[in-house]
Chains A and B, each alone.
Chain A
Amino acid sequence: MCRRIKLMLLAIVLGVPGLALAVAPDLNSAPSAQATQAKVEALQQAVNAAQAASVKAQAAAASAQSAGDNAWMLTSAALVLLMTGPGLALFYGGLVRKKNILGTMMQSFAMMCLVTIIWAVCGYSLAFGHGNWFIGGFEHLFLKNVPIAADPNNFYAPTIPEQTYMIYQLMFAIITPALICGAFAERMKFSAMAIFLSLWSIVVYSPMAHMVWGVGGLLNSNGGSIPSLDFAGGTVVHITSGVSALVTALYLGKRIGYPQTKMSPHSLVLSFIGACLLWVGWFGFNAGSALAASSLATSAFINTHFATATAALGWTIFEWLHNGKPTALGAISGAVAGLVAITPASGFVHPMSALVIGLIAGFVCSFMVFKVKALFGYDDSLDAFGVHGAGGTLGAILTGFFAAAAINSNNKDAAGNVISGAIDGHWHQVINQLIAVGISWAIAIAGTLVLLVLIDKTVGLRVSPEDENEGLDLSQHGEEGYDFAT
């Protein structure tokens, strides 16, 4: 395809001056008016043909770009789904006791099904439809008017079909509530979980996604009244899920026997595989957020990888100093913390900044998990808050410091100035980031609390003590993850 375009362009470049040379000597002679007229017409025709060829070449180039971008975005969408299942399902599944592995994996899997349906019916419309500063409208209910062809005037992604954008964003909407499951692991009813997280995706996720990424959203970096920078979901995904996780852990209370009983992970091997799948899938999450197979995607890809490496190192060093041994669980937890923290910054910062952001995230998140959780005594079972809430907040704020116009100058404020961070002297961006953090904390706390109270009063949130002791696999699903007797 590309070679054909090049050949066409070559033909045009060589052809036009060639024609001019061929015609020029004739003009010097003294031809009749009629003959001259004929020659002018011939020349005109040649010019028209060249112009038509040029238009055709441009259309071919645009179509090639669209094809390339669409290929990358569909791949990215698949990579983001890979993060939830098997990535997160294995990561969380290995961290619980073996009587709860299926119950935990089913929570992630349920999101892959439930949120998909919600997204098709109303979620996408509420997040990315027009509407107001807070929430999208109803014009895309049942995916009405979401074009299947790429449209250069599309607000979200000019080179790919909006349907591609829709399915890509769906994968974000799936993983976000699935992350919360880490906080209430091993003790929530499957029915309550399904209702809670389905409603959460409408009440918390869609408005937050609209405010940050939706057309006309309050925090949108492209036309919002408080433009904040969130490349791939530091506020939308990680703060909302992490803070909701904390609220849920506090509301639900501790697991029976916590913290006296040993509740160590039953299979760090599964968690290890899950974490590595998260790392790989995250390239789709962050580099895909460039919404094109562009150099910006390359930038986000590199930053994602760099920050993950230093964060794993940061956590491991902290743990080595703290407990005397570098653990596998520490290394993979640090990697996830780095992935979280770089998410909002991934398409805005220099690779060297990414190394720094990752290292800070490794130290801060391990400190949250080791010290702060113990200090307050809440049972955030798999550290959804310590990693996603803390890491997301940290990343969102650090984006305000490290965002560089040299990497990404696509976002401009009302006055037409490029939005970037303190590293470019724009200290007010840190304030905007803090406002965005505050709003995401607020909506997560309020939305989650209301839903928890409603569900607790109706279907009930928590399994009975007998069911909890028996494990979710048997009590909720009537099966066992491991049956070595057969």
Chain B
Amino acid sequence: MIKIEAILQPSKLDAVKDALLEAGIEGMTILEARGHGRQKGHTEFYRGREYTVDLLPKVKIELVVNEDMKEKTLQAIIGAARTGRIGDGKIFVSRIDDAIRIRNDERGEAAL
């Protein structure tokens, strides 16, 4: 099992969600997040006072898929989220030891 964590521009959430559903992904968890990478923040002005905002609003999608779904899922996310500009986000992929469905004790891939 593979966990995919994708940090995205909030404006791309809907497109990525649709692409994932189309790719056959059945479940996902979405978190509102703030952060920055190499992308610099932006400036805001309040009564002439200038503030640099470096932690920008992002969304993070977390999903766990079968090994054979990995590439398809990654391509769906990349295809929908890429604008080619700085700030498009990042995807992290990691292995998952086990999964448990709380309702009925199903284990492993059966629980996904």
Which A residues are closer than 8 A to B by beta carbons?
Answer: 259, 262, 264-265, 319, 322-323, 325, 327, 329-330, 333, 366, 369-371, 374, 383
B-side contacts of A369, CB under 8 Å: 47-48
User: Interface residue count for B (Cβ, 8 Å)?
Assistant: 9
- Cβ distance A254 to chain B, nearest Cβ, rounded Å: 13
- Give 21 CB contacts A-B under 8 Å: A259-B49, A262-B51, A264-B44, A264-B46, A264-B49, A319-B45, A322-B48, A323-B45, A323-B48, A323-B50, A327-B45, A327-B46, A329-B47, A366-B48, A369-B47, A369-B48, A370-B47, A370-B48, A371-B48, A374-B48, A374-B49
Q: Find the residue from A262, A329, A370, A371 having the highest chain B CB count within 10 A.
A: A262
New A-B pairs, 11, CB < 8 Å, besides A322-B48, A333-B47: A264-B44, A264-B46, A264-B49, A264-B51, A319-B48, A323-B50, A327-B46, A329-B46, A329-B47, A370-B47, A374-B49
B-side contacts of A319, CB under 8 Å: 45, 48
Task: Kindly state whether residue B31 has any CB partner on chain A within 8 Å.
Answer: no
Task: Kindly state whether residue B86 has any CB partner on chain A within 8 Å.
Answer: no
Partner pick for A325 among B45, B47, B51, CB 8 A cutoff: B45
Bitwise, B26-64 to A at CB < 8 A (1) or not (0) is 000000000000000000111111110100000000000
B-side contacts of A323, CB under 8 Å: 45, 48, 50
A-side contacts of B45, CB under 8 Å: 319, 323, 325, 327
- Cβ distance A71 to chain B, nearest Cβ, rounded Å: 39
Q: Find the residue from B46, B50, B53 having the highest chain A CB count within 10 A.
A: B46
A-side contacts of B49, CB under 8 Å: 259, 264, 374
Q: Provide the bound-state CA to CA distance between A366 and B45, in Å.
A: 13
Which B residues are closer than 8 A to A by beta carbons?
Answer: 44-51, 53
Partner pick for A265 among B46, B48, B53, CB 8 A cutoff: B46
Q: Provide the bound-state CA to CA distance between A369 and B50, in Å.
A: 13
Q: Provide the bound-state CA to CA distance between A327 and B53, in Å.
A: 17
Q: Provide the bound-state CA to CA distance between A323 and B51, in Å.
A: 12
A-side contacts of B51, CB under 8 Å: 262, 264
Q: Provide the bound-state CA to CA distance between A327 and B48, in Å.
A: 10
B-side contacts of A325, CB under 8 Å: 45
Q: Across chains A and B, which 4 residue pairs bring their CB atoms closest together, nearest first? A: A370-B48, A323-B45, A262-B51, A264-B46
Q: Provide the bound-state CA to CA distance between A330 and B47, in Å.
A: 6
Q: Provide the bound-state CA to CA distance between A374 and B48, in Å.
A: 9
Q: Provide the bound-state CA to CA distance between A370 and B50, in Å.
A: 10
Q: Provide the bound-state CA to CA distance between A343 and B50, in Å.
A: 31
Minimum CB distance partner of B48 in chain A: A370
Minimum CB distance partner of B43 in chain A: A323
- Whether A383 pairs with B47 at a CB distance below 8 angstroms is yes
A-side contacts of B47, CB under 8 Å: 329-330, 333, 369-370, 383
